[in-house]
Chains A and B, each alone.
Chain A
Amino acid sequence: MSAAFPSSRRRRIANGAFRAATLLALLAVVGPVVWVIAGVVDRAVPHWRWSVLTTNTVGVSGGLENAILGTLVLLLGVLVIAGAVGVLGGVYLAELAGFNRRGKQRGGFLRAATEVLAGVPSIALGLVGYLALVVQFHWGFSLLAALVVLSVMVIPYITRGTETALRQVPTNYREGAEALGMSSGYGLRKVVLRSAMPGIVTSLLIALAISGGETAPLLYTANWFTGAPRAALFHQPIGYLTYPVWTFWDYPSNQAHYLAFDAALILLVIVLLLLVAARIIVNRSQRYAEARRN
């Protein structure tokens, strides 16, 4: 490439400005991520007490054990409910829906509904959960109401992820399973689903990260509870980590601020762990796939 490649000065300047702008854009994406994380860490660490992990919230001070345990209980529940429904839905859409007379894959309507549901704002789902489950069904502020709302919120992600993972399983595998005389259900479970496992687990982890960081749908379904989570599905509010951040950050008390920052840090660690785990699974399975192809 000769030195005077863009023939006119104007084109040289335009191209240089373009390159600089793209690098700036790159910086504008990466910078805030580092800044947000550093901001959370920077606010929480100077006042960090390890007792936060082992004591319950008292008013606007104390610890966060109740909230941490509550978040873990909620994540477990979402994993069970949304995981079962989402994965089964994805399996149906990818493997079992079949084709219509014109040779087109069935289930397009359900798939569209799933993606539109992913676009419904979480506060609207939370409001419906409050109006229908908490009030109309007399469940009260409860674990089950929170789980149903959170699950409805993340099922689209799991369904979509499962479907995508299953579509990447080579057709040869299905034909091989059938040629070995496996029944269709057995072959699906032992061959197809097993090959799609990394993708499915990744989508589950992402769904957990999303639901762990949600505030709006929980405020009026799970409410808030300063004791350890109890083994009750109904009429028993439950604590979770986003509540102290959302509620305590602008309280006129330093105790409350420290609690909010501590909750933010713990939440960040949980979410980042889930995202990193998802990324590791994706990287490993991709490396394995490439090694096998060569």
Chain B
Amino acid sequence: MAAVSGAATGGTPPVAARPPTKRDPLLQRIRSSVWANEHHLWGWGGRISAAAPFVALVLTVLVLAFKAWPAVKVNGAHFLIGTDWKPGSTYGAVTYTNGVPHPLGVSYGAWPVIVGTLESSGIALLIALPISVGAAFALTERLPRWIAEILRYAVEILAGVPSVLIGLWGALTLGPLLANDVYPFIANHVPDVAGFSYLKGPVGHGEGLLTSGIVLALMIIPIIASTTRTLFAQVPPLPKEGGEALGMTDWEVGRRITIPWVRSGIIGATVLGLGRALGETIAVAMVSGSLLATISPNVYGTMGTIAATLVTQLDSAFVDGTGFEVRTLAELAVVLVLVLLVVNILARFIIRRTGNLSVPLGVGV
């Protein structure tokens, strides 16, 4: 074909036809039939992969539930309301309750760590929400572009820094600083009003509830700030300009127009942040004191959370020859996972109604 056309135009000399490359016809047929059906590969690989997270989710719940069921039968309702954590005598005789083997004298009550989880996450939300919304507002003001860039990078790094490093900073730098200089000041100067008694009393050494709350706040700020920033950017300019034309100040535009416009989105982002705070493990284990059967009397005292208990107690749970303590920890994990499923589904539901926003990937404010 090439030679013919070359001869017809007359200019170029005819090119010698290349000898056909030798190929194994069978291999060639297999290869071409594979590539001809490439869309099946994408389709089925995609179907299986897209189903993988759902399968993992179901398996996670099932494995924990199966492992925890015997512990549920022994611990009963005391598990949710009890305030003691006694692994029993590991050297004594194995006893049976409802057919489940366990050491003599076990008594597991998770109420203190449940309270600790809720308290520390609540403090984290109280701190993180105003800071995140405020920082997002700072970006909507007429600030130089490089300040916006700095915030973008800061949030990204904050979202990406390993929690063990934030825990290290909280335990070695922030905690001692607060306990030496800040907590005593607060404890000595709060007024003697009934509601403020939690802010009084011994301030400890920097490990405890308030320190955990502050560290948790730092870890959920990226989630709330990035979502709020995106939401603010979606508020149409006309209502805001209208407000300014009526003579409203920036504060009034923010409070009367911007925030009401995206309120449910901010609530959704806050619930997402709550989910992260409830499940955060390593940093809290490093700054809370990781106690098991103690509810802190004030905001400074040492305490524990469910997630921190899981990571700090599993080692010693191996000592229990009947495996009962591991089952109890699985029960604790079931409580945490169920709470988080509810919280996350709730957050999805709120956010879906406002627009399709996702978990911030760590990139992009």
Q: Taking each of B38, B164, B225, which has the highest tally of chain A beta carbons within 10 Å of its own beta carbon?
A: B164
Q: Identify which of A29, A115, A122, A186 contacts B281 (C-beta below 8 A).
A: A122
Q: How far is the CA of A51 from the CA of B162 in the complex (A)?
A: 24
Q: How far is the CA of A128 from the CA of B67 in the complex (A)?
A: 10
Q: How far is the CA of A17 from the CA of B364 in the complex (A)?
A: 28
Q: Which residues of A contact B57 (CB under 8 A)?
A: 113, 116-117, 120
Are the C-beta atoms of A268 and B161 separated by less than 8 Å? Answer: yes
Q: Which residues of A contact B361 (CB under 8 A)?
A: 157, 160-161, 203, 206
Q: How far is the CA of A123 from the CA of B173 in the complex (A)?
A: 25
Nearest CB in chain B: distance from A86 CB, A: 7
Are the C-beta atoms of B39 and A131 separated by less than 8 Å? Answer: no
Q: For window 28-70 of chain A, which residues contact chain B by CB distance below 8 Å?
A: 28-30, 32-33, 35-37, 39-40, 43
- For the residues of B in contact with A, the DSSP-based class is helix
Q: For window 178-225 of chain A, which residues contact chain B by CB distance below 8 Å?
A: 183-186, 188-189, 202-203, 206, 209-210, 212-216, 219-220
Q: How far is the CA of A147 from the CA of B329 in the complex (A)?
A: 23
A-to-B contact residues, CB < 8 Å: 5-7, 11, 14-15, 17-19, 21-26, 28-30, 32-33, 35-37, 39-40, 43, 84-89, 91-93, 95-97, 107, 109-110, 112-128, 130-132, 152, 155-157, 159-161, 164, 183-186, 188-189, 202-203, 206, 209-210, 212-216, 219-220, 242, 245-246, 249-250, 260, 264, 267-268, 271-272, 274-275, 278-279, 282
B-to-A contact residues, CB < 8 Å: 35-43, 45-54, 56-57, 59-60, 63-64, 67, 130-135, 137-138, 141, 147, 150-151, 153-158, 160-169, 171-173, 218, 221, 225, 247, 249-252, 254, 272, 275-276, 278-282, 286, 307, 310-311, 314, 326, 329-330, 333, 336-337, 340-341, 343-345, 347-348, 358-359, 361-364
Instruction: Give 13 A-B contacts (CB < 8 Å), ordered by A residue.
Output: A15-B251, A28-B135, A39-B172, A92-B43, A110-B50, A118-B359, A120-B57, A121-B279, A131-B326, A152-B56, A185-B37, A213-B162, A245-B165
Which 3 A-B pairs rank lowest in CB-CB distance, beginning with the nearest?
A213-B162, A92-B46, A25-B134
